[in-house]
Amino acid sequence: KNQVEQSPQSLIILEGKNCTLQCNYTVSPFSNLRWYKQDTGRGPVSLTIMTFSENTKSNGRYTATLDADTKQSSLHITASQLSDSASYICVVPPSGGYQKVTFGTGTKLQVIP
Partner 1 sequence: DTGVSQNPRHKITKRGQNVTFRCDPISEHNRLYWYRQTLGQGPEFLTYFQNEAQLEKSRLLSDRFSAERPKGSFSTLEIQRTEQGDSAMYLCASSRTEDTQYFGPGTRLTVL
Binding flag, residue 113, partner 1 (CB under 8 A)? no
DSSP state of 83: G
Distance CA 29, CA 92 (A): 10
Q: How far apart are CA 111 and CA 88, in angstroms?
A: 13
Please report whether residue 103 would count as binding partner 1 according to CB under 8 A. Answer: yes
Encoded one letter per residue, x for contact with partner 1 by CB under 8 A and - for no contact, window 33-52 reads -x-x----xxxxxx--x---
Q: How many positions of this chain bind partner 1 (CB under 8 A)?
A: 20
Q: Which of 3, 105, 110, 112 binds partner 1 (CB under 8 A)?
A: 105
Is there a contact between 41 and 64 (Cβ–Cβ < 8 Å)?
A: no
* Amino acid letter for position 77: I
State the residues that interact with partner 1 by CB under 8 A: 4, 34, 36, 41-46, 49, 89, 91, 97-99, 101, 103-106
